[in-house]
Amino acid sequence: MSVQQYLKNRVAFPLAELAKHRGKWVAWSPDGSRLVASSPDLDTLDDLIRAEGENPEDCPIEGIPDTDCVVGGMTVS
């Protein structure tokens, strides 16, 4: 996985889609182009990632705040 490609794809992910996962943990595909799974707790998330056929060690995990916040400030070239 290229970190630059992951960051480029992650930044381009639609915020409206990400907002559906407020207050949850999300697992990203290794290239950052899609969400593999989401869950309110990390133990369940690990199981869901495996159920999707992905290795949890390859999927970056991020907590999505349940309140409004500003996400951004990153430039990827």
Spans of all domains in the chain = 3-63
Hey, what are 44's tokens?
Answer: 């369940």
Hey, what are 56's tokens?
Answer: 């949890």
Hey, what are 57's tokens?
Answer: 């060690």
Mean local confidence (pLDDT), 7-31? 95
Q: In angstroms, rounded to a whole number, what is the distance separating the alpha carbons of residues 33 and 67?
A: 24
Q: What is the pLDDT of residue 67?
A: 78
pLDDT 10s digits, 21-75: 999 999 999 999 999 999 999 999 999 999 999 999 999 999 999 876 555 555 5
* pLDDT of 5 strictly over 70: yes
Q: In what order do the strands lie in the sheet with 35-39?
A: 35-39, 25-28, 61-63
From residue 64, give the alpha-carbon distance in Å to each of 1, 24, 33: 23, 6, 16
